[in-house]
Amino acid sequence: MPMDKTFSRRAILKGGLVAGALVPALGLVAGSAQAADLPPLDLNDPTAKALGFVADTTKVDDKANPTHKPDQHCGNCAQFKGAATDARGGCNIFIGKSVPNNGWCKTWAKKVG
């Protein structure tokens, strides 16, 4: 079947630019939806135990974790994948699990920006 319509190079480039701009935006929306669906991190998880993870930063044993500061929590950690206002979010350390905003572990690093 012959094609009666031809496309200009300009139309193809314009369509490609629009599609290229939409792909990352769709990824952000999908990533946010997925973070809410992640199962909570089990406190008995071996990695969580090894990293001193606690679900509430106010419960950190300061003698065992002398670098811990009261204002450190998952919500302001560079590893936290959620927004600072999210109750839970994904974590780059505990892949496939969600952590509470108010949690803490030994890998805490200040989120920049």
Mean pLDDT by 10 residues, the chain (113 residues): 67 60 51 69 97 97 94 97 94 97 97 87
Based on the domain organization, do 42 and 54 belong to the same domain? Answer: yes
Based on the domain organization, do 44 and 29 belong to the same domain? Answer: no
Based on the domain organization, do 95 and 54 belong to the same domain? Answer: yes
Alpha carbon distance 53, 108 (integer Å): 10
User: Tell me, what DSSP letter sits at residue 88?
Assistant: E
Angle at Cα 23 formed by Cα 96 and Cα 101, nearest 5°? 35
Based on the domain organization, do 43 and 26 belong to the same domain? Answer: no
How many Cα atoms occupy the beta-carbon half-sphere of 51 within 13 Å?
18
Report pTM: 0.69
